[in-house]
A and B are shown apart, each in its own frame.
Chain A
Amino acid sequence: MLKKEGETRIPAGCAISGFINRSGRRTNGSVIVNSIACMHDRSNGLGGGYAGYGIYPEYKDQYAFHVFYDSNEARIKTEAFIDRHFDVINLSRIPTRKHPNITDEPLIWRYFVNPLPTKLQESQLDERTYVARCVIKINDKIDGAYVFSSGKNMGVFKAVGYPEDVGEFYRLDEYDGWAWTVHGRYPTNTPGWWGGAHPFALLDYTIVHNGEISSYDANRRFIEMFGYKCNLLTDTEVITYIIDYLNRRLGMPLEDVAKVIAAPFWSEIDSGRFSPEEVEKLRHFRNVYSSLLITGPFSIILGFNNGIMALNDRLKLRSMVAAEKGDTVYVSSEECSIRTMSPDVDRIWSPRGGEPIIVTLDK
Chain B
Amino acid sequence: MAINYLNPLFEVVRNPDRCIKCRVCERQCANEVHHYDPDLDRMVADETSCVDCQRCVTLCPTRALKIRPNENQFRENGNWSQQIMDEVYKQAGSGGVLLSAMGNPREYPVYWDKILLNASQVTNPPIDPLREPMETKTFLGKKDQSIHYDENGKAVYEKNPYLELDVPIMFSAMSFGSISKNAHETLARAAQELGTYYNTGEGGLHKDFYKYGANTICQVASGRFGVFKEYLDTGAAIEIKMGQGAKPGIGGHLPGMKINEEISKTRMIPKGTDAISPAPHHDIYSIEDLRQLVLSLKEATNWEKPVIVKIAAVHNVAAIASGIARSGADIIAIDGYRGGTGAAPTRIRDNVGIPIELALASVDQRLRDEGIRNNISVVVGGSVRCSADVVKAVALGADAVYIATAALLAMGCHLCRSCNTGKCNWGIATQRADLVKRLNPDIAYKRLVNLVHAWDHEIKEMMGGMGINSIESLRGNRLMLRGIGLTQKELDILGIMHAGE
Q: Real complex partners, A and B?
A: yes
Q: Does A217 contact B480, Cβ atoms closer than 8 Å?
A: yes
Q: Does A224 contact B139, Cβ atoms closer than 8 Å?
A: no
Q: Does B476 contact A266, Cβ atoms closer than 8 Å?
A: no
Among the 9-residue stretches B39-47, B72-80, B120-128, the one with 4 or more Cβ atoms under 8 Å from chain A is: B120-128
Which of A221, A253, A287, A289 sits near B478, CB closer than 8 Å?
A221
Q: Does A252 contact B147, Cβ atoms closer than 8 Å?
A: yes
Q: A317 CA to B472 CA in the complex, in Å?
A: 19
Q: A222 CA to B476 CA in the complex, in Å?
A: 8
Of all chain A residues, which has the CB nearest B166? A266
Residues of B within 8 A of A250 (CB): 145-147
Residues of B within 8 A of A224 (CB): 368
Q: Does A251 contact B148, Cβ atoms closer than 8 Å?
A: yes
- Chain A contacts with B in 2-34, Cβ cutoff 8 A: 9, 11-13
Residues of B within 8 A of A121 (CB): none
- Chain A contacts with B in 183-218, Cβ cutoff 8 A: 188, 211-212, 214-218
Q: Is B153 an interface residue (CB 8 A)?
A: yes
Q: Is A1 an interface residue (CB 8 A)?
A: no
Q: Does B468 contact A11, Cβ atoms closer than 8 Å?
A: no
Residues of A within 8 A of B432 (CB): none
Among the 9-residue stretches B129-137, B214-222, B446-454, the one with 4 or more Cβ atoms under 8 Å from chain A is: B129-137
Q: Is B423 an interface residue (CB 8 A)?
A: no
A130 CB, nearest partner CB in chain B, Å: 19
Of all chain B residues, which has the CB nearest A8? B501
Q: A1 CA to B71 CA in the complex, in Å?
A: 58
Q: Does A214 contact B159, Cβ atoms closer than 8 Å?
A: no
Q: Does B373 contact A222, Cβ atoms closer than 8 Å?
A: yes
Q: Is B66 an interface residue (CB 8 A)?
A: no
Q: How many residues of A are in contact with the other chain, CB < 8 A?
A: 43
- Chain B contacts with A in 365-413, Cβ cutoff 8 A: 368, 371, 373-374, 397
Q: Does A295 contact B155, Cβ atoms closer than 8 Å?
A: no
B355 CB, nearest partner CB in chain A, Å: 21
Q: Does A225 contact B368, Cβ atoms closer than 8 Å?
A: yes
What's the A-B contact tally at a CB cutoff of 8 Å?
113
Binary interface encoding of chain B residues 182-196 relative to chain A, with 1 for a CB under 8 A from any of its CBs, else 0:
000000000000000
- Chain A contacts with B in 236-253, Cβ cutoff 8 A: 250-253
Q: Does A266 contact B135, Cβ atoms closer than 8 Å?
A: yes
Q: A251 CA to B149 CA in the complex, in Å?
A: 8
Residues of B within 8 A of A251 (CB): 147-149
Which of B124, B139, B143, B475 sits near A214, CB closer than 8 Å?
B124
Q: A291 CA to B20 CA in the complex, in Å?
A: 62
Q: Does A291 contact B125, Cβ atoms closer than 8 Å?
A: no
Q: Does B476 contact A295, Cβ atoms closer than 8 Å?
A: no
| Given contacts A225-B368, A290-B475, A291-B476, A214 and B145 within 8 Å (CB-CB) | no
Of all chain B residues, which has the CB nearest A219? B473
Binding site for A on B (CB under 8 A): 120, 123-125, 127, 132-133, 135, 137, 139, 141, 143-149, 153, 155, 157, 159, 162, 368, 371, 373-374, 397, 466-470, 472-480
Q: Does A226 contact B371, Cβ atoms closer than 8 Å?
A: yes
Q: Is A102 an interface residue (CB 8 A)?
A: no
Which of A12, A288, A297, A314 sits near B125, CB closer than 8 Å?
A297
Residues of A within 8 A of B159 (CB): 284
Residues of A within 8 A of B147 (CB): 250-252
A316 CB, nearest partner CB in chain B, Å: 11
Q: A219 CA to B480 CA in the complex, in Å?
A: 13
Q: Is A348 an interface residue (CB 8 A)?
A: no
Residues of B within 8 A of A297 (CB): 124-125, 467
| Given contacts A253-B149, A253-B153, A218 and B123 within 8 Å (CB-CB) | no
Q: Does A296 contact B472, Cβ atoms closer than 8 Å?
A: no
Of all chain A residues, which has the CB nearest B370? A225
Residues of B within 8 A of A290 (CB): 139, 143, 472, 475
Q: A253 CA to B133 CA in the complex, in Å?
A: 27
Q: Does A267 contact B145, Cβ atoms closer than 8 Å?
A: no
Of all chain A residues, which has the CB nearest B140? A287
Q: Is A127 an interface residue (CB 8 A)?
A: no
Of all chain B residues, which has the CB nearest A287? B139
Residues of B within 8 A of A12 (CB): 123
Q: Is A294 an interface residue (CB 8 A)?
A: yes
Residues of B within 8 A of A51 (CB): none
| Given contacts A252-B147, A287-B143, A315-B132, A212 and B123 within 8 Å (CB-CB) | yes
B472 CB, nearest partner CB in chain A, Å: 4
Q: Does A217 contact B123, Cβ atoms closer than 8 Å?
A: no
Beyond A214-B468, A217-B476, 4 extra complex contacts between A and B, CB < 8 Å: A256-B155, A286-B137, A288-B145, A296-B468
Which of A219, A225, A288, A294 sits near B371, CB closer than 8 Å?
A225
Q: Does B475 contact A291, Cβ atoms closer than 8 Å?
A: yes
Residues of B within 8 A of A267 (CB): 133
